[in-house]
Amino acid sequence: MIPEEEVEEKIRRIAARISEDYQGKVVHLVSVLKGSVFFTCELAKRITVPVTMDFMSVSSYGDQTESSGVVRIVKDLDVPLEGKDVLVVEDIIDTGRTLHYLMNILRDRGPASLRLAALLDKPDRRVVTVEADYTCFQVPDEFVVGYGLDCAQQYRNLPYIGVIESESK
């Protein structure tokens, strides 16, 4: 769906915008595990202002393929957010349920600023309003993998964004 070169170029552009927007500040990246790790690392390498990082894991899926709408924190942050310029980094915005919940929780922790960066945005699936400040690509309502996105923990390591095709096609 999206070749490796195109993904890399878009990340470079987003990193340049972030660097400009956070000029004179330290940007604290909060990577939402597991899918956003690849995007977070590539983004961090290209941001030219100082960067700190932390990781958080949340779940709203359990063993299902559809979000239950009930979000739980599986791994919380290691450091407080109070007074920090926080940029949440996510692999994909889908229904918006999890991110809406997560952004509200993080906002309550008193950061100086709170923004959202997403590798992919799937607006056709949105049931809760969530707007990313930085988005690399909008994608149609298809099951995408690669660059951190998985299907049953497979395909995360693909250097491009691909689509899982059903065998019935």
Q: Which residues are catalytic?
A: 94
Q: Supply 46's token pair.
A: 């290209």
Tell me if 59 sits within 8 A of 74, measured CB to CB.
Answer: yes
Question: 150 φ, ψ to 5°?
Answer: -130, 170
Hey, CA dihedral for 118, 123, 126, 131, is it positive or negative? positive
Cα angle, residue 124 at apex, residues 122 and 125 outer, rounded to 5°: 75
Rounded to whole angstroms, the Cα distance separating 44 from 40 reads 6
Rounded to whole angstroms, the Cα distance separating 118 from 148 reads 12
Closest to 140 (Cα-Cα) out of 74, 107, 98, 94: 94
Closest to 95 (Cα-Cα) out of 65, 62, 134: 65
